[in-house]
Amino acid sequence: MRGLLTAISGLAFPLALSACAMLERQQTVTQAQPQGDDEVLAAQETAEALALAVRARDAQDSDTLRSALLDLRRLRARPQEEPLQTRMDEWARFAGLDEIPMRGRTLGPAVRSGFIAPGQSKSLDQTFLSGRKATIAARSSDGRTVRLGVRDRSGRETCEKASVRPLCAWVPIYTSRYTISVSNPGNQRIEYFLVIE
């Protein structure tokens, strides 16, 4: 009997180690997956297409502008502010496309834009649903560094990134309101695009 218990206990330890290793591998895979999912890609592509559209319009490049606008149509991006919608309509006319029918869309990433002076920031509140991935991307129209921050309703930091392509993605445990801030850490005014998926 004692030999049987020794054999069983001898097997239990390696099995436990093996289970821990498998669990660790699963957690690593789970943490790595969000970077490749559809919402993250859509937010990143939308921000890139908006920045490209600004540069193309400034350069009077109607072919590149048309390509950027077609990408925005494919992604179903929807401006949340009338000035951006008006601007995108003007871009479409310049590029020889019909106006982009994005008002009232219920799918696709929401887009905001504006200008931020050096050392300043803009913020907005947004509700994100429990169990559904929240993705936010920011870009400046000219490729400068942008700081993107997200805080929960208690003021705890959910995400803080500063780069030319900051991205925040998480899955809220509870439906809650978050404060999103976009800051200009540079020494020149920037135009920014904020994409919320």
Give how many domains the chain has, as a whole number. 1
pLDDT of the residue at 108: 67
| 141 found inside a domain | yes
CB atoms < 10 A from the CB of 70, how many? 15
Q: Please say if the pLDDT value at position 12 is more than 50.
A: no
| 24 found inside a domain | no
Using a pLDDT cut of 70, give the percent of the chain over it: 77
CATH number for the domain harbouring residue 95: 2.60.120.380
| 123 found inside a domain | yes
CA dist 174 and 121 (Å) reads: 27
Average pLDDT estimate for 49-69? 92
Nearest-10 Cα torsion for 18, 20, 23, 27: -130
pLDDT of the residue at 78: 83
Whether residue 149 contacts residue 180, with contact meaning beta carbons closer than 8 Å, is answered with: yes
| 4 found inside a domain | no
pLDDT tens track for 140-167: 999 999 999 999 999 999 999 999 999 9
| 142 found inside a domain | yes
Cα dihedral 57, 188, 195, 34 sign: positive
Report residue 175 as tokens: 């439906």
Report residue 110 as tokens: 């929401």
pLDDT of the residue at 172: 92
Average pLDDT estimate for 94-123? 76
| 134 found inside a domain | yes
Domain of 135, in residue numbers: 38-196
Mean pLDDT over all residues of the chain?
Answer: 80
CA dist 67 and 61 (Å) reads: 10
Which of 152, 171, 162 minimizes the C-alpha distance to 33? 171
User: Assign residue 60 a region: left if phi > 0, alpha if psi is -120 to 50, beta otherwise?
Assistant: left
**Band (121; pLDDT cuts 50, 70, 90):** very high
pLDDT of the residue at 139: 94
pLDDT of the residue at 22: 38
pLDDT tens track for 21-42: 433 333 322 232 344 577 788 8
Which of 92, 119, 93, 108 minimizes the C-alpha distance to 182? 119
